[in-house]
Chains A and B, each alone.
Chain A
Amino acid sequence: MLKKISKIPFKGTPEQEAQLRAVIEECKDDKSMLMHVMQQAQAIYGYLPFEVQTMIADGMNIPLEKVYGVSTFYAQFALSPKGEYNISVCLGTACYVKGAQDLIDRICENLGISAGECTDDGKFSVEACRCIGACGLAPVLTVNDEVYGKLVADDIDGILAKYKA
């Protein structure tokens, strides 16, 4: 899977760094905890820029190329920041057969970006995801933690309008 690497400068705060250091300190003796540390780091920073990956590599005493290797292998790890509102459209099978592709097309058309990208103002990002397990509501999308189900493409403009305001 190809990952988009962010060109936006890193803006981590000392508080975020302290949080991450605490996580690393707790896990540094068990190298199998690398993914756990990276998941925590992503929860703290929202994504995993090289600066953060370097901190993890140094703190866990694991080569940076291995940390980078893990970060690019798994879909969950993001190398570029997400928008204030991250829209995730489920492209699992149940959603796909019920027209999820039309939803993502409409969102991209509305926002003028393609899947995996973030709008210039940093407000919206769009991604396709694989099954959030709410197949009974297919097709579904999430905006941050809010789930919208049983959608048709015509619902999209209304949903986006709520967040644009």
Chain B
Amino acid sequence: MYRSHVLVCGGTGCTSSHSSEIIEALESELKAKGLENEIKVIKTGCFGLCALGPIMIVYPEGCFYSEVKVEDVPEIVEEHLLKGRMVKRLIYDETITKDEIKPLSETNFYKKQNRIALRNCGVIDPESIEEYIAMDGYQALAKALTEMTPEEVIQVVKDSGLRGRGGGGFPTGLKWSFTAKNAADQKYVVCNADEGDPGAFMDRSVLEGDPHCIVEAMTICGYATGATEGYVYVRAEYPIAVNRLDKAIKDARENGLLGKNIFNSGFDFDLHIRLGAGAFVCGEETALMTSIEGNRGEPRPRPPYPAVKGLFGKPTTENNVETFANIPQIILNGAEFFSSMGTEKSAGTKVFALGGKINNTGLVEVPMGTTLREVIEDIGGGIPNGKKFKAAQTGGPSGGCIPASLMDTPIDYDNLTAIGCMMGSGGLIVMDEDNCMVDIAKFFLDFTVDESCGKCTPCRIGTKRMMEILEKITDGKATLADLDELEKLAYYIKENSLCGLGQTAPNPVLATLRFFKDEYIAHIVDKKCPAGVCKALLSYTIEADKCKGCTLCSRKCPVGAISGAVKEAHTIDTSKCIKCGVCMDSCKFGAIIKK
């Protein structure tokens, strides 16, 4: 028995800020003090509050230390773990009131959350199958295999109202039933963990923090659809996730939870991992399967759908990580448990990766129907530096943006589609007044131009032409006719592309055009970038009354564009200026402005 447990986050965010070294230091410090048999150190998955990482929680007190450094470890061990005095300066200020520790669940970040897919993340040691089992792990599998028929399993998933969390929102139970009814000598289950949307990291966190739930869910899916083999296709950029999943699969095999005759039910199932190699299009289901087969990951026309002819030409069910992560809880607690959460047509919860200009960057899981305002202001803690909220981008390169005027829209699949947006995988990037929406549209289009696989013409050439128009706009060389052309082309690409990548590639442009057309006009007609981002449209000037003539800027200027005598106002030669901004950063008197 240990008298105290110290949980340290081992997610990618915290590992990047040296949480592994913190664990090593803790262990050696505890050993030096002879406490290693009294205090247990556990490396967990992501807690979600990445902005405050590295994170450490000490139980039984529930003391939440944030932004811990390796140098803080001796003090924590000496003061807290040995003498029982908490190190107040490291405690997250929202969890401490006078001398009392407030439960984490009462903080603004956590109190509106409802964790189903992330239930074990940051709670258990993801590398321990025993800890997963202690949290009711593999009970859903036992229930499915020993008490339910495959048809009953599918019915429960259908009744729960679960929809695909990868972006499309297709009803999961229905998808399973399609594969189930196609007889074949071999069927497959595929888990899409090729989280390509830049800025979304929920799938990675589930794999890192709770890999066994994916193993369990895929096995349940195999039983329900009649598949005996499964593949997890995961990004090679996620080494921690890959290692933990690999260990989970091996441990499950050793414990008879994968392999032959699971739970004496006569059902066989095994799993393999395949690594992606950095191609966004492989998030599309047919492209992903082509990639697993060892080819260039190009999509193919549907039908035939994967339920008929999928991986290696066999009926296949493909779901995303977060979708699978909900399955064990649905089987264990029943359809009603899940369908009672969320909205009428979007049951359950959704995980969002909050990023960009927001105080509490991290992962949040909220019931469907929560408004954007609640997510950003209450949970996310608002925008840093007192800046104004401009828009939130959802759905990554396939999605759109939600402007401030629509912040009270309840977030679910259908509401987002209605405003020309998309749920996507759940990346939620917040932008403030310093972000230029034309530049953001260009950023996403640059991404899709780069990632277009080249198979179909509308996507390959069309996105490139759109990109050229956007470049004209941000260079101040476009006319209003170009804007019409841009919009026409966008709809043409949407209608004619082969796969989801091309069909959604114009969305960021169309969404910004819908809500921020004035910014496009400002670039085209006034030749100005209102947010001050697009370099070609900026000019730096020195305000004569503020300039003290200290000469610092003219010495810093890399191209010698600034001239002026000592103690006299300086001027910038705009024909020489390369708009690098060094002068503005160096001026101590705020005399240099860009507009």
Contacts and interface: CB of A to CB of B under 8 A. Distances in A.
A76 B236 CA distance: 8
Interface stretch (A5-13, A16-24, A86-94, A117-125): A86-94
A133 B236 contact: no
Contacts of B295: 34, 66, 70
Nearest to B281: A73
Nearest to A42: B277
Interface string B428-470: 0111000100001001100100110100000000000000000
Given A93-B198, A130-B280, A135 B294 contact: no
Contacts of B13: 133-137
Contacts of A34: 294-295
A135 B274 contact: no
Given A130-B280, A131-B200, 5 more contacts: A73-B279, A97-B430, A137-B16, A137-B17, A137-B53
Interface of B: 12-13, 16-17, 50-51, 53, 195-201, 204, 236-238, 274-280, 291-297, 312, 353, 355-357, 361-362, 393, 396, 427, 429-431, 435, 440, 443-444, 447, 450-451, 453, 585
A39 B277 contact: yes
Nearest to A70: B296
A135 B237 contact: no
Nearest to A136: B50
B555 to A, nearest CB: 17
Nearest to A101: B443
A75 interface: yes
A133 B12 contact: yes
A97 B201 contact: no
Contacts of B430: 97
17 contacts: A1-B450, A1-B451, A73-B279, A74-B277, A74-B297, A75-B277, A75-B279, A92-B198, A93-B393, A93-B443, A94-B429, A97-B431, A133-B195, A133-B237, A135-B13, A135-B355, A136-B355
B280 to A, nearest CB: 7
A48 to B, nearest CB: 11
Contacts of B274: 35-36
A93 B427 contact: yes
Interface of A: 1, 31-36, 38-39, 66, 69-70, 73-77, 91-94, 96-98, 129-138, 140, 147, 149, 154
A103 to B, nearest CB: 14
A32 B293 contact: yes
A94 B361 contact: yes
Nearest to B49: A136
Nearest to B360: A136
A134 B312 CA distance: 34
Nearest to B52: A136
A39 B50 CA distance: 30
A134 B353 CA distance: 11
Contact of B297 (A32, A36, A73, A147): A73
Nearest to A142: B16
Interface centre among B195, B204, B361, B393 (most CB of A within 10 A): B361
Contact of A135 (B199, B357, B431, B451): B199
A91 B278 contact: no
B16 A147 contact: yes
Nearest to B356: A97
Q: Which 10 A-B pairs have the closest CB atoms?
A: A136-B50, A92-B198, A94-B355, A75-B278, A74-B277, A93-B199, A147-B16, A76-B277, A34-B294, A131-B198
Given A70-B296, A140-B16, A97 B361 contact: no
B119 to A, nearest CB: 20
A97 B16 contact: no
A32 B356 contact: no
Contacts of A70: 294-296
B296 A69 contact: yes
A70 B204 CA distance: 25
A92 B312 CA distance: 33
Contacts of A96: 198, 443
Nearest to A97: B356
A123 B297 CA distance: 33
Contacts of A134: 12-13, 16, 50
Contact of A35 (B198, B294, B356, B435): B294
Nearest to A138: B355
B356 A138 contact: yes
B238 A133 contact: yes
B278 A92 contact: no
B533 to A, nearest CB: 10
B275 A130 contact: no
Contacts of A129: 237
A92 B196 CA distance: 10
A94 B294 contact: no
B534 to A, nearest CB: 12
A93 B355 CA distance: 8
Interface centre among B236, B279, B292, B429 (most CB of A within 10 A): B429
A61 B161 CA distance: 47
A1 B296 CA distance: 13
Given A75-B277, A136-B362, A149-B16, A93 B356 contact: yes
Contact of B198 (A33, A69, A94): A94
Contacts of A97: 356-357, 429-431, 435, 440
Contact of A130 (B238, B278, B292, B355): B278
